[in-house]
Structure 1
């Protein structure tokens, strides 16, 4: 999702969710400036589960089979419509996003209120053992100084670069039994880009940053892969051979570059926002995959990814249908779920979310229907988002950054599985 910010990097009106005539998802960050001021004054899983193939049933309609527990063997790869571990057991991710590295704080949001350890402890306690971790390439620049952190509560983060703080987050998450997907969310702190390159980010820099990250985290097998570019849209095409716009071609190039230095990583490839003349959510349309699947030199490593949102983000016409929500499975299947159902490849719903999960609002009905659909089809997901400062969706945490939105956790807990063992407890 995206966040409108003014040129001084101050959030626009946090109480207003911006919508446009073109379907899109965007988030507004709430209270960053106030939080940074306050900090200055004081000083300063997806749950994964593995299943035996015989227990899984068909990918289009099976309920989750008997979990194999926490005995996932790395590295992960793919087999038809599933992610599998090195022993061939199916692995399903049911996780959460935690954003901030892609913003002007160059650090995860919420560290102005509490410690990194307490945040990760709480996240792991809720059963999320995969974290999708967005970043901006600008974070790697020497001039990009992390801020918005209460260093009295996070003394070990003082003086670190954004990359070094990312190291702390990754180690803390994986030590607690979570897997991590890195997400190139923006070229810079100000806005997302339609394409994988922009005025502030060349294609070569996009590629070289991915190669550096793949090398950096190669020794941590719970860092499982790269979400190459967040929400391709607008100019982005799929499979037309145009070097300037063909996202399929660019993703292939990036995946092969990453695998030259780290063959273990899964390559998560999002869709675009349209197929022919039909528009959908940013990054949410995978219809082009059927004719033009992504084929890497390293086989069995591609996971397709889509984003899908509800009426709280944009009031699409399908939410107004007389048969809503019964009409939704056909829409999901057409745009993204068919990829797994037809065994073309595994699928991650990398973003979905909304403020309302209980009651009779259309947004609550939509979210619960989608959760049921994901569970029925054993589709992996990372929920948007842990943060409460996502303007049009809210988060798993309430605005105090400490207490949980109990209705959201009640919904998410319908489809979670046993976590991996924390590294300190895992058998050697």
Structure 2
């Protein structure tokens, strides 16, 4: 979700397989079947599929906290990430959780305040949480959310060089290293997807003056108008991951805080494994907010490659807009993870739960929960 709003495909194999024993087993009875781990995923045409070839559509929530808590000197995830917290998510029948991360906290660069978690502590916490989700049958999307880089242009979310806010693009000095280390840590676990950069906006950084230059900046990086640091393009980040030997599915965004995918197919980075998903975000305050616009701008991409709505929401706490997003996504084989599984109160919108037990907010959370359960019964 944009800083200005919050600082602080279903396949048969996608169903969560739960085999809990009821009461004590009788003598000689077989034990209850164990919880199935989340499936390894890969791209096939315009769908994600499991190793057995079943279509899989990621449906779930974002679990915010890992992008800001550590860099603010707080706890890493701003709330519980234990088995009880995961069990609460499972009552919503989610099969995927997107976890925003902070580049500096992982790398231990200068922006982490004294007394904050060490890189080793942060890395272990991320790995432990991802492993717990996967062991519970829930796929994970690791998202590079906040990054380092001085940004004082007209569109700047904040002037801080540290990773305390959403920057327009990743930084060549640090972001490829982040993805190299994350990919090394999760290599071999293809139940985990890598969302390479949360919400690019190089077009806003260049004051909307050159659309082709913005798309080129997104893919190739380098020196980009309106951005003071050397930019890491999506190709740089794809290369950083693949150079480790990791085969994980990669999500790549578009322009306008990844609400705009109009030229995504023309400017997609090259992945030797052809394992890319287009990342799309959709809020009621974005530019493209109608089914007809989604047909025109997103439908053509979804016909060629998988599209995942990494974030969506409604700042009114109602659900008329998000209902349209989910219904359109269902009809077009697009997955989605709603913002956000954090009990922050829904007065500002986009908050799914009242408490860590998973009580849905009214009426936004209630509608999202009901819809996910309907799609993933």
TM-score bracket for this pair, using the shorter chain length: 0.7 to 0.9
Partner of 1:183: 143
Q: Is the 8 A contact 1:124 1:177 kept in 2?
A: no
Q: Is the 8 A contact 2:169 2:232 kept in 1?
A: no
Partner of 2:86: 120
Q: Which runs of 5+ in 2 are unaligned?
A: 18-35, 148-161, 207-213
Measured on the aligned residues, the alpha-carbon RMSD in Å equals 3.4
1:180/1:402 CA distance change after superposition, 3 Å: closer
Residue by residue over 1:214-241, the C-alpha shift from the partner in whole angstroms, topping out at 9 and shown as x without a partner, is 1112243422x21111110023721366
Partner of 1:214: 183
1:193/1:295 CA distance change after superposition, 3 Å: same
Shift of 1:120: 1.6
Shift of 1:261: 1.8
Partner of 1:380: 335
Q: Which of 290, 298, 306 pairs up with 1:336?
A: 298
Q: Which of 210, 213, 216 pairs up with 1:239?
A: 216
**In 1, distance between residues paired with 2:282 and 2:166?**
17
1:91/1:102 CA distance change after superposition, 3 Å: same
Shift of 1:170: 1.1
**In 2, distance between residues paired with 1:129 and 1:272?**
27
Q: Is the 8 A contact 2:37 2:135 kept in 1?
A: no
Superposition TM-score, scaled by structure 1 size: 0.66
Q: Is the 8 A contact 1:353 1:367 kept in 2?
A: yes
Shift of 1:412: 3.8
Q: How many residues align?
A: 321
Q: Secondary structure of the residue that 1:173 maps to in structure 2?
A: helix
Q: Secondary structure of the residue that 2:58 maps to in structure 1?
A: strand
**In 2, distance between residues paired with 1:99 and 1:146?**
22
Partner of 1:268: 251
Q: Is the 8 A contact 1:28 1:391 kept in 2?
A: no
Q: Is the 8 A contact 1:145 1:162 kept in 2?
A: no
Q: Is the 8 A contact 1:337 1:347 kept in 2?
A: no
Correspondence list, 1:156-195, <5 A:
161-187=121-147, 188-195=162-169
Superposition TM-score, scaled by structure 2 size: 0.74
Q: Which of 350, 357, 381 pairs up with 2:310?
A: 350
Q: Is the 8 A contact 1:256 1:298 kept in 2?
A: no
1:337/1:164 CA distance change after superposition, 3 Å: same
**In 2, distance between residues paired with 1:108 and 1:384?**
15
Q: Is the 8 A contact 2:145 2:166 kept in 1?
A: yes
1:287/1:177 CA distance change after superposition, 3 Å: same
Q: Is the 8 A contact 2:15 2:95 kept in 1?
A: no
Q: Secondary structure of the residue that 1:385 maps to in structure 2?
A: coil
Correspondence list, 1:291-330, <5 A:
291-299=266-274, 301-311=275-285, 328-330=290-292
Shift of 1:75: 3.5
**In 2, distance between residues paired with 1:336 and 1:248?**
26
Q: Secondary structure of the residue that 1:351 maps to in structure 2?
A: strand
Correspondence list, 1:48-197, <5 A:
49-51=10-12, 74-103=39-68, 104=72, 105=74, 107-111=76-80, 116-140=82-106, 141=108, 144=112, 161-187=121-147, 188-197=162-171
**In 2, distance between residues paired with 1:391 and 1:191?**
22
Q: Is the 8 A contact 2:57 2:334 kept in 1?
A: yes
**In 2, distance between residues paired with 1:158 and 1:298?**
34
Shift of 1:126: 1.4
Shift of 1:265: 0.5
1:168/1:142 CA distance change after superposition, 3 Å: farther
Shift of 1:49: 3.6
1:382/1:184 CA distance change after superposition, 3 Å: same
Residue by residue over 1:244-281, the C-alpha shift from the partner in whole angstroms, topping out at 9 and shown as x without a partner, is 349998212211221222432011001111xxxxxxxx
Partner of 1:44: none
Q: Secondary structure of the residue that 1:268 maps to in structure 2?
A: strand
Shift of 1:368: 1.3
Higher RCO (CA-CA < 8 Å; seq separation 6+)? 1
Q: Secondary structure of the residue that 2:280 maps to in structure 1?
A: strand
Shift of 1:158: 12
